[in-house]
Amino acid sequence: MEFTIDQVALLINGKVEGEGNIKVNRLDKIQEGKPGGISFFSNEKYENYVYETDCSAIIVSENFTPNKAIKPTLIRVKNAYVGFTQLLEAYSQITKMQLTGTTQPCYMDESSTIGEGFYRGAFSSIGKNSKIGNNVKIHSQVYIGDNVTIGDNCIFHPGVKICNDSQVGNNCEFHPGVVIGSDGFGFAPMEDGTFKAIPQIGNVIIEDNVSVGANSTIDRATMGSTIIKKGAKIDNMVQIAHNVIIGENTVIAAQAGISGSTEIGKNCMIGGKAGIVGHLKIADHTNIGANTGISKSIEKSGQTILGYMGFDFKSFLKSYAVFKNLPQLQDKLKELEKKL
């Protein structure tokens, strides 16, 4: 998408110094700026790039006084960083939400409904009795099953699968390959050593403002609901098992896994590759380090936990420091034994 520098300045409430009629179509780091790109200058460390960059425009703060000649057009705003962020958001909003209409062939059962401002990509499929709100963007090869409800302003990137009975709130974003509402992993052992599937008849509820990263999976509940509360942010390849509850504004990094029926509090941070066993409660504001295993409930809020079987992170780091010297420690002990 192309804009003139004048149009960009209007968008972020800035004043143009220099040629405003040049077209730009890209945001560049100032040290990598090329014609057609817009950069910003906010951190003094990078000032020399202002005089060297080849980009077409730079967003600068209104009080910036250059001490050499500058080639690019300047856009002056109150605060260059804030101005650039506004531009980023406008750009992102435009590229993500402007898409409307239908790319054929795509499929929607006639019993389902979709609001205004929608996009339905090629080979997307919507099942029976589903209700979809306004401004929902359903990209190529997305699957939405039967009896699904979806709020407004949601984005389903290519290849997302939302299985039957799922409920999704407003302003949610699902990155490519996400699976919501697959069967939970429940099998009853039989006397002959085989296993019989326990029917998984619950669903998944995803509240407002939730983001789920590429190829993550969230299983439906055995009965009742697996719930992702509002504002939770989930990275790529995270596994969330049946009947789990994720609290408001909790952030979960890539490749973490939460086992069945565990309840995570609000505003927790869960590191990449962390694993939490089933049927636990994790207090609000808990910080779980990357690769940490959690096998007991955490009752006191605000703790930072680390380790293979996680405990207080400072204690863990001290223990691990000694672990690195265990052979020497063992040698000393042997010496002492000899002396006695």
Question: Would residue 175 show up in a list of annotated catalytic residues for this protein?
Answer: no
Rounded to whole angstroms, the Cα distance separating 135 from 138 reads 10
Q: How far apart are CA 255 and CA 290, in angstroms?
A: 10
Residue (of 133, 129, 96) closest to 118 by Cα position? 133
Give the residue with the Cβ less far from a second copy, 299 or 322.
322
Q: How far is the CB of 307 from a second copy (least distance, A)?
A: 8
Nearer to a second copy, 17 or 249 (CB): 249
The count of C-alpha atoms lying within 13 angstroms of the C-alpha of 188, restricted to the half-sphere facing its C-beta, is 8
**From the centroid of its chain, how far is CA 181?**
18
To a second copy, the closest distance from the beta carbon of 46 in angstroms equals: 13
Residue carrying the six token digits 């040290």: 31
C-alpha to C-alpha distance for 294 and 284, rounded to whole angstroms: 15
Helix (H) or strand (E) holding 337: helix 326-339
Single out the residue of 44, 110, 191, 337 in contact with a second copy (rule: CB under 8 A). 337
Minimum distance, C-beta of residue 115 to a second copy, in the bound complex (Å): 22
Dist CA 337 CA 113 (whole Å): 80
Site for a second copy in 253-272 (CB under 8 A): 253-255, 257, 259, 266-267, 272
Residue 5 burial (10 A CB sphere; 0-12, 13-18, 19+) = buried
State the burial class of residue 2 (Cβ atoms within 10 Å of its Cβ: 0-12, 13-18, 19+).
Answer: exposed
Among 80, 219, 268, 288, binds a second copy (CB under 8 A): 219
Q: How far is the CB of 73 from a second copy (least distance, A)?
A: 20
Q: How far apart are CA 113 and CA 126, in angstroms?
A: 9
Minimal distance in Å, beta carbon 235 to a second copy? 4
Q: Decide if residue 64 touches a second copy (CB under 8 A).
A: no
Chain Cα centroid distance, residue 49? 32
> Of the candidates 46, 64, 91, 313, which one interacts with a second copy according to CB under 8 A?
91
Q: Does 143 bind a second copy (CB under 8 A)?
A: yes
- Name the one range near a second copy by CB under 8 A: 7-15, 41-49, 75-83, 232-240: 232-240
Question: Which residues inside 299-318 make contact with a second copy, applying CB under 8 A?
Answer: 307-309, 311, 315, 318
| Among 76, 120, 161, 229, interactor with a second copy by CB under 8 A | 161
Q: Which of 139, 157, 175, 242 is catalytic?
A: 242
When the beta carbons of 73 and 216 are compared against a second copy, the nearer one is 216
Interface with a second copy (CB under 8 A), residue total 102
Q: Judged by CB under 8 A, does residue 336 bind a second copy?
A: yes
**Residues 57, 179, 268, 305: which binds a second copy (CB under 8 A)?**
179
Longest dimension (CA), the chain: 89
The residues carrying an active-site annotation are: 242
